[in-house]
Amino acid sequence: MAPAPDSRPILVTGGAGFVGANLADRFAAEGRTVIVYDALARPGVERNLAWLTERHGERIVPVIADIRDRDELTRTVREAGAVFHFAAQVAVTTSLTAPREDMEVNLGGTLNLLEALRARGEAVPLLFASTNKVYGGLPDVALTLAGDAYLPEDARLRERGIGEDRPLDFHTPYGCSKGAADAYVLDYARTYGLPTVVMRMSCIYGPRQMGNEDQGWVAHFLIRALRGEPITLYGDGRQVRDILHVDDCVAAYRAALARIDRVAGRAFNLGGGPSNAVSLRGLIAHAGQLLGREIVIETGPWRPGDQRYYVSDPSRVIEALGLERPLSWREGVAQLAGWLREWVEVAPSTEPLPRRQPEAVL
């Protein structure tokens, strides 16, 4: 007989944020109760929470609290059937000016969550959003310029992207705090048998992203372009990233939960892969075409930790989780531009994260 479906709530830390709100929406649409645990630390995310509660009513249970609040977190975790952990200090820039706070939120908050789960003594799945920054700047990858984009000289790497076997090389305080949290999450699977999974994510984009200069560059570029404002490129703009639409990202997390028995204890690189790789200049050119206007580019110096090239090899995550082919970046960006057109009208200005500083990292 098949096991009864789990009716306990899903806990989404950072559930008012971009990825968290999209995931919460999917579960609530299926009738699941979703606890949204969020300190509303990122300006603008309260609009995502309002959107969720408007759509789903009592199926969304907001807990407005900090991930560093151990007591509140431990209480909340007791009810959960599965946990998705997105709450984080998300900007490399902020981590450079406030490394201790970055560590306390990203590493300390994750440890709080792991300990709250361990205290339960049950196998409650935990899915954690890590980052490609755990692989560092990839200084040994020889690059060549192809038009407006850096590409690896190595044909195999160009074709496949960066795999999970790449050595870890934490860089910047954000890279260190997320990387250390990533290691703890994997080790709690090994040492304590917690069913955990780590997703080392490339750039995710899509609706509900409050993109600004510090984080969320695809949305940020589109917002600036829609407002007719110049875009500042730090470095030469030929940096290449693989971008993934948030619907595909959410599908991967949901698939990981559905297959937790098979994938617990593993880390995956989650991104759009080589077929969804684009340089910053390439994305701006596409945005210009979509919006039918010339976009003014300004430039600034290279920023710490900025990879000239990062494209994930998504073959392992696709195979392990049985994922569909992701939405093509051109289509996804056009869709996001459509969503942002309306959003930009209701949001008068791009709100920066607290303590913004000029050398942001994408």
Closer to ligand NAD at the Cβ: 144 or 275? 275
* 274: DSSP letter: G
Structure tokens at 97: 């000016």
Q: Are strands 240-245 and 231-234 parallel, antiparallel or unpaired?
A: unpaired
Which of 10, 25, 33, 42 lies at the binding interface for ligand NAD (CB under 6 A)? 42
How far is the C-alpha of 147 from the C-alpha of 100, rounded, in Å? Answer: 40
Which of 26, 40, 251, 323 lies at the binding interface for ligand NAD (CB under 6 A)? 40
Q: What burial letters (b/e) apply to 15-47, b meaning 16+ CB within 10 Å?
A: bbbbbbbbbbbbbbeeebbbbbbbbbbbebbeb
Binding segment toward ligand NAD, per CB under 6 A, in 41-49, 139-147, 152-160, 288-296: 41-49
As measured in angstroms, the least distance from the Cβ of 15 to ligand NAD is 7
Which of 34, 60, 87, 284 lies at the binding interface for ligand NAD (CB under 6 A)? 87
Closer to ligand NAD at the Cβ: 105 or 337? 105
As measured in angstroms, the least distance from the Cβ of 4 to ligand NAD is 31
203 counts as binding ligand NAD under rule CB under 6 A:
yes
Which of 10, 11, 20, 268 lies at the binding interface for ligand NAD (CB under 6 A)? 20
Closer to ligand NAD at the Cβ: 19 or 107? 19
CA atoms within 13 A on the CB side of 226: 22
Q: For residue 34, how far is the Cα from the chain centroid?
A: 19
As measured in angstroms, the least distance from the Cβ of 228 to ligand NAD is 25
Binding residue count for ligand NAD, defined by CB under 6 A: 28
Between the CA of residue 259 and those of 29, 123, 195, 255, 317, what are the distances in Å?
20, 14, 11, 6, 12
Helix, strand, coil percentages in the chain from 3-state DSSP, rounded to 5: 45, 20, 35
Closer to ligand NAD at the Cβ: 90 or 231? 90
Catalytic residue list contains 150: no
Query: Taking CB under 6 A as the rule, which mask of x and - marks residues 111-140 in contact with ligand NAD?
Result: ------------------x-x---------
39 counts as binding ligand NAD under rule CB under 6 A:
yes
- Decide: residue 187, CB within 10 A, 0-12 exposed, 13-18 middle, 19+ buried: middle
Please give the full DSSP string across 31-97, using - where no structure is assigned.
T--EEEEE---STTHHHHHHHHHHHHGGGEEEEE--TT-HHHHHHHHTT-SEEEE--S---HHHHHH
Q: Active-site residue among 135, 174, 309, 310?
A: 174
150 counts as binding ligand NAD under rule CB under 6 A:
no
Active site residues: 174
Binding site for ligand NAD (CB under 6 A): 14, 16-20, 38-42, 45, 66-68, 86-90, 105, 109, 129, 131, 178, 201, 203-204
